[in-house]
């Protein structure tokens, strides 16, 4: 697993000061205890840490209190059950009813993240979160700021890149990350905020200057009872506890729901797509002005006629929508329109790893690797690829094991509708039978009104991409959806090294394409 990023020069704080106001019992002497960090993992304890023991699915974290003490933990925060379990561990214990409920507040106190914070941006939604934070960070750099980023793919601190663990880190890790960014004099941070992060209170103790909502579509119904439950998880970001202001896209009907139910001031944005009208109620309108295999041009216009034009180094109307959202986030944070327009006059300078990323050369089929793993993401990305592909569109994809199985039929149906050749393969099977997952996807593909010329089932994915390249001709395009930036496959709980980008390049070279 990638390491947790922490400040290099933490300032010790008194444990009694950290827990003051919680009104909770303690066991042992905490008067002289000084804390320099906070963690949920006994394996990641550093000297001076407050170790937090939570009840997990199988075991209680307090069972590892002795290990934490041996690694240098100076105290334990846990619930009553954990306090009883850890009674002989030799650590001072702070007992609270629900440790996760206070984790963000305590992490803020330990790392002082509320003191002189950078400008903080948060982005939530089903699709487009990662792309929006990357585009936003690129714009901030072009405005001359030292930036930070936290996304599904990476963490950035200035010019240094780290691999991510979770889309949104645990509260203890996120506050530590922000403290490290402060040491590096980061002035603005873009953070991807998942629904699960809000449900599990991973952004508690953080007050965003501006937050954005991209869209909502079928996903994560393994974690949430239904779409309504999923929506309310996202809506929690639009609350004064988490944000001062918001920007909401009206491109899906759920955006209007956010506007209706928000508890903070919001500005709205909508995208004019080919053959469809944008929501007339929006404060800002995004229009696509040019499309190519390398870039998408866009114009963003306000109700009062103010406008800005730029380009983004990625394809599709949905990427123009993400860029427009990022620009309005900047404006709502106080950046002046003229300054933003001047900075972006020659286009947005940003690299979006694994987001419709072209991995092929100038000759042969165009091959794109994408992280999309929902029906809506498939539909938008396939439409973008088809719009500039003179030949056939070939799609390669699989589905996650042990994740939302209710979307598999629809994913496959959309993939079949939008492709000329469909190759169904494996992704992260985890503890599921990959053959069973593929069978479900084949059933879904049969639901499409338009059937591809060919539908193939090829396992493993190394063979699938070679089958696709072998069928492709000059002028064709291959979209490999799912793996994106990821550098591993999860098979029965073991992460094996794997890069779809590298595998696609090898397949092209083996087929004779430079």
pLDDT at 278: 78
Q: What is the mean pLDDT of residues 301-309?
A: 97
Question: What is the chain's Cα-based Rg?
Answer: 24
Report pLDDT for 195.
95
Is the pLDDT at 102 greater than 90, yes or no? yes
DSSP of 168-204, one letter per residue?
S--HHHHHHHHHHHHHTT--EEEEE--HHHHHTTTTT
Q: How many whole angstroms separate alpha carbon 78 and alpha carbon 86?
A: 9
pLDDT at 448: 96
Q: What is the per-residue pLDDT for 166?
A: 63
Domain boundaries, the chain: 13-111, 119-343, 357-510
pLDDT band at 21 (very low <50, low <70, confident <90, very high): confident
pLDDT at residue 422 greater than cutoff 80: yes
Q: Is the pLDDT of residue 3 over 90?
A: no
Question: Which residues make Cβ contacts (< 8 Å) with residue 159, sequence separation at least 6?
Answer: none
What backbone torsions phi and psi does residue 370 show, to the nearest 5 degrees?
-135, 150
Helix residue spans in 26-170 (DSSP H)? 65-71, 80-85, 99-111, 129-142
Q: Tell me: the pLDDT tens digits for 308-353?
A: 999 999 999 999 999 999 999 999 999 999 999 999 999 999 999 8
Q: Give pLDDT, residue 324.
A: 98
Higher pLDDT, 90 or 24: 90
3-state class of 480 per DSSP? strand
Residues 154/164, Cβ–Cβ less than 8 Å: yes
pLDDT of residue 220: 79
Dihedral pair phi/psi, residue 45, rounded to 5°: -65, 140
Is 90 exceeded by the pLDDT of residue 62?
A: yes
Nearest CA to 352 out of 208, 501, 502 is that of: 501
Q: How confident is the model at residue 26 (pLDDT cuts 50, 70, 90)?
A: confident
> What span, in angstroms and rounded, lies between the C-alpha atoms of 154 and 150?
6
Share of the chain above pLDDT 70, in %: 99
Average pLDDT over residues 369-398: 93
Which of 74-78, 166-170, 282-286 bottoms out in mean pLDDT, i.e. has the lowest? 166-170
Q: Which residues on adjacent β-strands are paired with residue 26?
A: 94
Q: Per residue in 194-237, pLDDT tens?
A: 999 999 999 999 999 999 999 999 887 888 999 999 999 999 99
The answer to whether the pTM exceeds 0.85 is yes
Is domain 357-510 annotated with CATH 3.90.190.20? Answer: yes
Q: Which residues pair with 489 in a beta bridge?
A: 496
Please check the confidence at residue 443 and state whether its pLDDT lies above 70. yes
313 contacts 347 by C-beta, under 8 angstroms: yes
**Mean pLDDT for the stretch of residues 302-313:** 97
Question: Is the pLDDT assigned to residue 29 strictly greater than 80?
Answer: no
pLDDT one-digit tens code per residue, 252-294: 999 999 999 999 999 999 999 876 777 888 999 999 999 988 8
Please compute the mean of the pLDDT values over residues 181-205 and round it to a whole number: 96
Say if domain 13-111 classifies as CATH 3.40.1390.10.
yes
CB contact at 8 A, 165 and 139:
no
pLDDT over 80 at 129, yes or no: yes
pLDDT on residue 152: 87
pLDDT score at 215: 95
Q: Give the sign of the dihedral formed by CA 413, CA 129, CA 135, CA 162.
A: negative
Asked whether residue 1 carries a pLDDT value surpassing 70, the answer given is no
Instruction: Decide the pairing of beta strands 284-291 and 307-312.
Output: unpaired
Q: Higher confidence at residue 391 or residue 32?
A: 391
329 φ, ψ (degrees, to nearest 5): -60, -45
DSSP-assigned states of every residue in 265-325: -EEEEEEE-TTSPPPTT-SEEEEEEEE-SS-EEEEEEETTS-EEEEEESS-SHHHHHHHHH
**Taking the domain 119-343, which CATH number applies?**
3.40.1190.10
């Amino acid at each position: 697993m990638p390491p947790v990023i922490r400040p290099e020069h933490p300032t010790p704080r008194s444990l009694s000061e950290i827990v003051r106001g919680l009104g909770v019992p303690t066991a042992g002497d905490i008067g002289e205890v000084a804390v320099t960090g906070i963690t949920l993992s006994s394996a990641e304890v550093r000297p001076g840490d407050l170790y937090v023991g939570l009840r997990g699915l199988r075991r209680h974290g307090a069972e590892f209190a002795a290990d934490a003490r041996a690694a240098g933990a100076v105290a334990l925060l846990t619930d009553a059950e954990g306090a009883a379990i850890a009674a002989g561990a030799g650590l001072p214990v702070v007992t609270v009813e629900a440790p996760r409920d206070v984790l963000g507040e305590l992490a803020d106190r330990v790392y002082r993240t509320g003191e002189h914070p950078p400008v903080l941006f948060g982005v939530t939604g089903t699709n487009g979160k990662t792309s929006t934070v990357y585009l936003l960070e690129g714009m901030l750099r072009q405005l001359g700021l030292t930036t930070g980023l936290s996304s599904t793919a990476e963490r950035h601190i200035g010019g240094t890149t780290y691999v991510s663990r979770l889309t949104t880190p645990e509260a203890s890790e996120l506050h530590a990350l922000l403290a490290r960014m402060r040491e590096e004099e980061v002035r603005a941070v873009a953070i991807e905020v998942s629904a699960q992060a809000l449900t599990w209170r991973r952004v508690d103790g953080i007050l965003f200057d501006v937050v954005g909502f991209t869209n909502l579509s079928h996903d994560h119904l393994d974690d949430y009872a239904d779409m309504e439950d999923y929506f309310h998880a996202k809506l929690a970001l639009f609350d004064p506890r988490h944000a001062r202001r918001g920007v909401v896209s009206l491109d899906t009907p759920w955006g209007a729901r956010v506007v209706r139910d928000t508890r903070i001031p919001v500005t709205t944005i909508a995208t004019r797509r080919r053959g469809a009208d944008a929501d007339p109620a929006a404060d800002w309108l995004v229009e696509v002005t040019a499309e190519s295999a390398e870039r998408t041009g866009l114009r963003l216009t306000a109700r009062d006629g103010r406008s800005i034009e730029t380009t983004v180094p990625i394809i599709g109307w949905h990427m123009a929508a993400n860029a427009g959202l990022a620009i309005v986030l900047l404006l709502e944070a106080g950046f002046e329109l003229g300054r933003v327009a001047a900075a972006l006059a020659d286009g947005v300078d940003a690299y979006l790893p694994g987001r419709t990323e072209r991995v092929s050369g100038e000759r042969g089929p165009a091959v794109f690797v994408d992280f999309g793993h929902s029906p809506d993401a498939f539909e938008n990305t396939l439409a973008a690829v088809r719009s500039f592909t003179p030949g056939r569109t070939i799609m390669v994809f699989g589905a996650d094991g042990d994740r939302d199985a209710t979307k598999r039929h629809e994913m496959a149906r959309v993939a079949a509708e939008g492709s000329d050749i469909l190759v169904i393969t494996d992704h992260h099977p985890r503890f599921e039978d990959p053959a069973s997952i593929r069978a479900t996807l084949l059933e879904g593909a049969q639901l499409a009104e338009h059937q591809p010329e060919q539908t193939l089932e090829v396992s493993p994915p190394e063979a699938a991409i070679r089958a696709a390249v072998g069928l492709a001709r000059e002028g064709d395009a291959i979209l490999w959806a799912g793996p994106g930036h990821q550098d591993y496959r999860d098979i029965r709980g073991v992460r094996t090294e794997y890069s779809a980008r590298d595998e696609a390049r090898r397949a092209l070279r083996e087929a004779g394409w430079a």
